[in-house]
Structure 1
Amino acid sequence: MKLWKTTLAAAVLSLAAATSAFAARTDLTLGIVLEPPHLDPTAGAAAAIGEVTYANVFEGLTRIDDKGQVQPGLAESWAVSDDGKVYTFKLHAGVKFHDGSAFSADDVKFSLDRAHAKDS
């Protein structure tokens, strides 16, 4: 009986020490198959760029949920023209970049123009 109590106490102490060690960590180690050559998704075709940056650094107008359905991202809603050629997005209000500057339709246009550019 005494050995059981000693073993249980040691296990609880080990678990407590491990839990506090993990709680104090502020770093992250991420393993991926390919290392991205840079973090600009418009400057290269490497799939690893998107794997690292999308939803971590960049956010889209929409996102795909776990059921494969399109959900709002930076856009709160959108409409598609009858011919399917024109998409009109209503952007979420109050969205800010990391530096505090406001997100706007001009930013969306800039990003789309850059992605469609000849050198992209």
Structure 2
Amino acid sequence: MMPTQDFVSRLPNDIGGFEAGSVMRVEHALEPWEKRCHALADVLDFKKLINTEEKRKGVEALGETLIGKLPYYERWIVAFANISFTKGFFTPTELAEKMAEVDARFAEQQAG
């Protein structure tokens, strides 16, 4: 059983010391979208739009369930989106519309 103080001091992604089973480490080259995600993080920080601390807090704010289910860079993307909504850079609707536009453009490229 976890000591009561850990309920207050541990964040959702702080799982050190808990039983978790074995971890399979697989070295792999980053996918193109993962590289773009990392580049986006660098640009957002460079332009002083979202800094590393905000990104970390944004990932922690996802909660234990999402942190456990989402791969590393998907956590970043969701955190960036949530922070962007909060800061008023764009709305969820605007993001959905842009994503649909990109999907359509991609489908058109694949068909032609």
Normalised by the size of structure 2, how large is the TM-score? 0.28
Structure with the larger RCO, 1 or 2 (CA within 8 Å, 6+ apart):
2
Q: Which has the larger radius of gyration?
A: 1
Normalised by the size of structure 1, how large is the TM-score? 0.27
Answer 1 or 2: which has greater strand percent: 1
Answer 1 or 2: which has greater helix percent: 2
